[in-house]
């Protein structure tokens, strides 16, 4: 086993351990930290495959922005872990069945694709030219051979974004909203009403004289 293969198995083992701990950690903060560790190991695997752009993007975008934001949100929220795990054992059989189904599908797809797959120059370790651009090659493949999967992923992300906004902006009783149409149609008589309030007591003689003067 050469130097690159040793690092590959090491990063892969740490990645599998971190991914397992993400779904088994009892503390949500620890789960987010393990997820950050998993992303870092995945970035290292991309670097081994000479996909430097993907590795740096994974570190900058996910580790540097998204996961740090998740960590801060989880730390600020008062999450009731016991309430979240109340129905764990109840839904465990269904989760195991779905997990097994997804695993079988992944194995079937990978097993069918491996015999016909050819090793790319990045995997075999062939040297590229000095003007080789990793980002250009990635964009050319994504928007030529994988154009339809990219469009499908974009539609799925758009639907997920709209669903997240709709769930977040649902009507609640404790929110105060203002309808601009009602504000425009309002009249002065609806907002201002002059009432004749009688005096509760008579004025003192001294105060009455001062008012007359």
In a domain, 110, yes or no: no
CA separation for the pair 155, 66 (Å, rounded): 21
Q: Which of 27-31, 84-88, 105-109, 177-181 shows the lowest mean pLDDT across its residues?
A: 84-88
Half-sphere exposure of 160 toward its Cβ, with a 13 Å CA cutoff? 6
Give me the pLDDT at residue 38, please.
92
In a domain, 152, yes or no: yes
51 and 142 Cβ atoms separated by less than 8 Å? no
Q: What is the mean pLDDT of residues 30-42?
A: 89
Q: What is the mean pLDDT of residues 53-74?
A: 82
In a domain, 147, yes or no: yes
CA separation for the pair 38, 70 (Å, rounded): 15
Q: How confident is the model at residue 45 (pLDDT cuts 50, 70, 90)?
A: very high
Q: How confident is the model at residue 124 (pLDDT cuts 50, 70, 90)?
A: very low
Q: Are 71 and 139 in the same domain?
A: no
Structural domain boundaries, residue 9? 1-80+117-124
Query: Which are the contacts of 56, defined by CB distance < 8 A and separation ≥ 6?
Result: 43
- Containing 6, the helix (H) or strand (E) segment is helix 3-24
Give me the pLDDT at residue 113, please.
58
Q: Are 75 and 7 in the same domain?
A: yes
Q: How confident is the model at residue 122 (pLDDT cuts 50, 70, 90)?
A: very low
Number of structural domains, the chain? 2
Q: Is this model's pTM higher than 0.95 or not?
A: no
In a domain, 197, yes or no: no
Place of tokens 């003007």: 131
CA separation for the pair 76, 69 (Å, rounded): 11
Give me the pLDDT at residue 175, please.
65
In a domain, 189, yes or no: no
Query: Which are the contacts of 1, defined by CB distance < 8 A and separation ≥ 6?
Result: 9
Give me the pLDDT at residue 164, please.
80
Please write the tens of the pLDDT for every residue from 152-166: 888 998 998 888 888
Residue in 53, 50, 36 with CA at minimum distance from that of residue 8: 50
Find which of 6-20, 43-57, 86-100 is predicted with most confidence, using mean pLDDT.
6-20
Q: Are 75 and 6 in the same domain?
A: yes
Region for residue 195 given its phi and psi (left: phi exceeds 0; alpha: psi -120 to 50; beta: otherwise) = beta
In a domain, 145, yes or no: yes
Q: Are 73 and 140 in the same domain?
A: no
Q: What is the mean pLDDT of residues 59-77?
A: 79
């Amino acid at each position: 086993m050469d130097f690159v293969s040793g690092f590959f198995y090491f990063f892969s083992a740490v990645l599998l351990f971190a991914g397992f701990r993400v779904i088994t950690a009892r503390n949500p903060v620890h789960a987010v930290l393990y997820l950050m560790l998993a992303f870092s190991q995945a970035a290292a695997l991309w670097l081994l495959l000479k996909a430097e752009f993907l590795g740096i993007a994974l570190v900058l975008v996910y580790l540097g922005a998204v996961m740090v934001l998740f960590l801060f949100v989880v730390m600020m929220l008062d999450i009731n872990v016991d309430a979240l795990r109340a129905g764990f054992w109840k839904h465990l059989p269904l989760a195991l069945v779905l997990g097994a189904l997804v695993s079988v599908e992944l194995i079937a797809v990978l097993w069918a694709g491996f015999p016909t797959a050819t090793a790319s120059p990045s995997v075999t370790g062939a040297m590229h030219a000095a003007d080789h651009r990793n980002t250009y090659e990635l964009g050319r493949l994504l928007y030529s051979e994988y154009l339809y999967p990219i469009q499908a992923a974009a539609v799925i992300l758009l639907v997920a974004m709209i669903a997240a906004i709709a769930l977040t902006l649902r009507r609640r009783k404790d929110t105060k909203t203002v309808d601009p149409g009602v504000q425009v149609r309002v009249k002065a008589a609806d907002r201002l009403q002059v009432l004749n309030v009688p005096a509760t007591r008579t004025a003192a003689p001294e105060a009455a004289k001062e008012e007359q003067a």
